[in-house]
């Protein structure tokens, strides 16, 4: 009897699923359109209805193209679900299931159990926004992690309920203005702090939990690939600017995300089994005002000669400094993994190569 070869079996399974018969010799090869001939998997296709410059659409595209094609997705209610699947069309090129706002974790758990029962190896992803993850779906997420399902949960964090009209969530940063935390005479935007979800998720003692940003796609995709290779629950939170809700120019999505990382307000950390194992060092730490000044949701903090604005700016700066100190983010000596080296390009791409 032939030796057991799990890789070969897997390849055969994929061939059965996605393969095509070879053409007879001399037959004309099918002419591929430039779109079809692109050297990457298109998990989230064009024609979706996201706003111009949507950070979440970008993040979902980046995740799916390096996780796919052998995945299936459970997607919580939110922008991502709405703009990708306007009936009767879908932008997804992988099996995809819509869950309620609160139960993406539970649906993904069930999909994973079903695949296991069928003896399939297909990885299950769960997608949710910050509302569906930090707030409404939190309990289902916690259960999924605790039951140790083999699921990668990706939270697209745009820091408010954008789909329903920019209401505050527990992920909205302190002092940001939303429709339910408006800046005015009484308050300077949201009164409370952004929930540290990553720490809570990591407290489940899962194999891998990490934060990524759309401004560092190579780093983001490395984290996705790493998580895909783990048998067990993994979690990724991706900072995804929302031009509509954050009120910045649609061309500045990446610049805003980059400054968010470079000022220390959104630290890119990786946590394995509850311990911080890696951080992206910041080559040159920027003041938080560099980040705030691009966004309309913080414009009330930029009023000159306003004591309340000054206090809130100082507060946000202190929060960023706290992150920098807690995670040791200051990377004054150049490092191949720091904010500068991670984004540098040369002729033909990133010097280290985008695998």
Partner 1 sequence: MVILTRGAYARPGTSLDFKTGNWRSGEAPVHVHATAPCAASCPAGEDQQAWFARLQEGDAEGAWREVVRANPLPAVTGRVCPHPCETACNRAALDAPLAIHNVERWLGDEAIRQGWTYPVSAPAADAPEVAIVGAGPAGLSAAYHCVRQGLRAAIYEAAPEAGGLLRAAIPQTRLPRDVLDAEIARLLDLPGITLNLRARLGRDVTLDELERDHAAVLLAPGCQANKAWSIDGAVPVDLHEGLNLLKEFVDHGQLPEARRVIVHGGGNTAMDLCRAMKRAGAEQVTLVSASGLPGPETDPSDVINVVPRELEEALEEGIEILDHTTINRLILRGSRVTGVEVMSLRKLRGEDGRAHRVGFEGTERVLPVDMVIPCIGEEVAPEGLGALIDHGYLRPRDPAGRLTQERVFALGDARGDHGTVAAAIGDGLRAVRALVAELEGAPASPDGDRVGIAPDQLNLSYYDHSARVAAPKLRVEARTFETEIEGDIGRAAAMAEAQRCLSCGNCLACDNCWTFCPDNAVIKTVELARDGSHYLFDLDYCKGCGLCAQECPTGYIRMQS
Chain positions contacting partner 1, by CB under 8 A? 11, 14-22, 34-42, 44-55, 57-58, 61-62, 68-70, 84, 86, 88-94, 214, 217, 243, 249-255, 258, 334, 340-341, 343-350, 354
Instruction: Find the shortest distance in angstroms from Cβ 262 to partner 1.
Output: 9
Residues 42, 43, 48, 54: is their CA dihedral positive or negative?
negative
Instruction: Find the shortest distance in angstroms from Cβ 192 to partner 1.
Output: 30
Contact 314, 301 (CB under 8 A): no
Contact 215, 277 (CB under 8 A): no
Kindly tell me which of 14 and 114 has the beta carbon lying closer to partner 1: 14
Residue 157: asked if its preceding bond is cis (omega within 30°), the reply is no
Paired with 157 in beta bridges are 239
Kindly tell me which of 4 and 16 has the beta carbon lying closer to partner 1: 16
Angle at 139 between CA 265 and CA 279, to 5 degrees: 30
Kindly tell me which of 38 and 139 has the beta carbon lying closer to partner 1: 38
Instruction: Find the shortest distance in angstroms from Cβ 324 to partner 1.
Output: 20
DSSP string, 142-187: HHHHHTT-SEEEEEEE-SSBTTTT-B--TTSPTT--BTTB--SSS-
Kindly tell me which of 69 and 207 has the beta carbon lying closer to partner 1: 69
Please name the residue that has the structure tokens 């500045």: 252
Kindly tell me which of 28 and 305 has the beta carbon lying closer to partner 1: 28
Kindly tell me which of 35 and 118 has the beta carbon lying closer to partner 1: 35
Instruction: Find the shortest distance in angstroms from Cβ 293 to partner 1.
Output: 16
Instruction: Find the shortest distance in angstroms from Cβ 13 to partner 1.
Output: 10
Question: Among 142, 158, 157, which residue's Cα sits nearest to residue 202?
Answer: 142
Instruction: Find the shortest distance in angstroms from Cβ 123 to partner 1.
Output: 14
């Amino acid at each position: 009897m032939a030796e057991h070869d799990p890789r070969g079996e897997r390849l055969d399974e994929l061939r059965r699923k996605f393969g095509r018969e070879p053409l007879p010799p001399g037959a004309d090869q099918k002419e591929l359109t430039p779109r079809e001939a692109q050297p990457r998997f298109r998990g989230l296709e064009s024609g979706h209805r996201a706003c111009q410059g949507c950070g979440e659409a970008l993040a979902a595209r980046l995740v799916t193209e390096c996780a796919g094609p052998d995945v299936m997705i459970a997607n919580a209610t939110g922008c991502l679900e709405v703009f990708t699947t306007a009936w009767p069309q879908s932008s997804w090129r992988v099996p995809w299931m819509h869950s309620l706002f609160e139960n993406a974790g539970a649906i993904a758990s069930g999909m994973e159990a079903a695949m296991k029962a069928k003896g399939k190896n297909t990885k299950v992803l769960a997608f949710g926004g910050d509302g569906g993850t930090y707030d409404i779906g939190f309990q289902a997420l916690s259960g999924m992690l605790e039951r140790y399902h083999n699921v990668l949960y990706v939270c697209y964090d745009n820091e408010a309920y954008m789909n329903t009209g920019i209401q505050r969530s527990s992920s909205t940063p302190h002092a940001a203005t939303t429709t339910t935390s408006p800046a005015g005479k009484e308050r300077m935007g949201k009164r409370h702090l952004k929930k540290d979800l990553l720490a809570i998720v990591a407290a489940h003692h899962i194999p891998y939990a990490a934060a990524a940003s759309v401004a560092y796609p190579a780093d983001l995709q490395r984290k996705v690939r790493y998580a895909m290779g783990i048998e067990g629950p993994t979690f990724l939170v991706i900072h995804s600017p929302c031009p509509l809700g954050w009120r910045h120019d649609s061309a500045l999505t990446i610049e805003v995300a980059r400054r968010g990382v470079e000022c220390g307000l959104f630290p890119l950390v990786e946590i394995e089994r509850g311990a911080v194992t890696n951080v992206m060092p910041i080559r040159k730490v920027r003041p938080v005002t560099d980040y705030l000044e691009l966004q309309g949701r913080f414009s009330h903090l930029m009023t000159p000669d306003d004591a309340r604005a000054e206090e809130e700016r100082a507060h946000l700066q202190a929060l960023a400094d706290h992150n920098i100190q807690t995670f040791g983010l200051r990377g004054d000596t150049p490092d191949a993994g720091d904010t500068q080296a991670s984004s540098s390009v040369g002729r033909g791409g990133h010097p280290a190569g985008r695998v």
